[in-house]
Amino acid sequence: MIKVITGIRRCGKSTLMELFQAELRLDGVPDAQIIAVNLEDFANIELRDPMKLHAYILSRAGNERAYVFLDEIQNVRDFPPMIDSLFLRKNLDLYLTGSNAYMLSGELATHLSGRYVTIDMLPLSFSEYAAFTGSRDGLSATYRRYLETSFPYATELGGDRKAIEEYLSGIYHTVVLKDVVGRLKNADPMMLESVLRFVYSSTGSPISTKKISDTMGSDGRKLDVRTVEKYLSAFVDSYIVYQARRYDIRGKQHLKTLEKYYAVDIGLRYYLLGGRYADTGHILENVIYLELLRREYDVYIGKLDELEVDFVAVNQTGTLYVQVAASVRDEHTLARELRPLQKIRDSYPKLILTLDDDPPADYEGIRRINALEWLIDSP
């Protein structure tokens, strides 16, 4: 099987490939049998031609067993037929990375249906970040630093906010200009940023393409619904935004309207919107959503009559229902968070995750626990 590593730029895909290569060397594979090409490197610009890249790999491999690592494969024009051809060579083991889901799941899937597996990557989890930066003591302080950004390299910047902001600026403009504008061709970068600001400012709230279109129109900038749909799709495909669809818990069916969108990194949200540490509950909801993805759940927004469950997380072992709130110390807030969970009649686990530094509690099978403890104890 071809291994395809996907995720936003700078989340660690190249490092993972380097770890794979190091593991091969530890297993006794000689360097001559490891072929690694970084297609972002200007020195390899000629290899962005699929014919030249194909010939280069075959000349390096010969008839020997070879492990081929192609980093940022979307930079090679019309690459799927070339990968298909390499796959036919039984002596080649292929590893690819890419920063664009449209190219990797659309075109690649057409040519290689059933012959590849994806490894989806995100920036650092809270647990990984805590391990990178020190002790588990002082979770609240660690969490505040984590919200500055979860991109791995930023841990090298020593908490320097100016350096972190410059780093995030580089990531943002690379993603927007290379992955989004590059795909949409005639997209207006200023309008793209306006739509992304709207999406980021609406974290945790259901939004529609019509609402975005109307908001742009009220600001004197016309943007039709179909263009909004293209922009949102491009954001999702570039991994700068993740979409959570709604799910009718009682009817057991997916709903097609009013999705929610979450930022891949809270630091990018701060970069575009400012307002550091504002909107605590929705920021926590964003963090929990990404953690559920890391734990290999499919994550939906639950609808139960007129009530909403923040997350319905589903995997092969079952379902997990999750409510997220900054605090439930107020009895009315606690009652509001409990109400939809109490109406669910199945026996799957139900959680309320908060930032309250209180002992865990149980409300007739509904567990309330500290969100940071839950995050740090990730499996």
Q: Looking at beta carbons, which pairs linking 53-59 to residues 24 or more positions away fall under 8 Å?
A: 53/82, 54/82, 54/85, 54/86, 57/86, 57/92, 58/89
Residue 285 vs residues 124, 282, 372: alpha-carbon distances, Å: 16, 5, 12
Instruction: Evaluate whether 256 touches 239 at the Cβ level (below 8 Å).
Output: no
pLDDT score, position 253: 78
Domain boundaries defined on the chain? 2-120, 126-376
pLDDT score, position 61: 96
Q: Where is pLDDT greater, at 111 or 367?
A: 367
The residue among 40, 32, 81, 24 whose CA lies nearest residue 59 is: 32
Instruction: Evaluate whether 69 touches 25 at the Cβ level (below 8 Å).
Output: no
Residue 190 vs residues 187, 196, 311: alpha-carbon distances, Å: 9, 10, 33
CATH 3.90.245.10 fits 2-120, yes or no: no
Per-residue confidence at 222, pLDDT binned at 50, 70, 90? Answer: confident
Residue 231, C-beta contacts closer than 8 angstroms, at least 6 positions apart = 180, 184, 187, 191, 192, 195, 196
Residue with tokens 């799910």: 247
Q: Is the pLDDT of residue 278 over 90?
A: no
- Bridge partner list, 92: 66
Overall average pLDDT of the 118-124 stretch: 94
* Percentage of the chain lying above the pLDDT 70 cut: 96
pTM, rounded to two decimals: 0.93
CA 207 – CA 205 distance, rounded (Å): 6
Overall average pLDDT of the 354-363 stretch: 97
**Interval 131-172: pLDDT, tens:** 988 765 689 999 999 999 999 999 899 889 999 999 999 999
Residue 258 gets the label, from left (phi > 0), alpha (psi -120 to 50) or beta, of left
pLDDT score, position 277: 64
Among 37-51, 93-107, 110-124, 162-176, name the one with the lowest average pLDDT.
Answer: 93-107
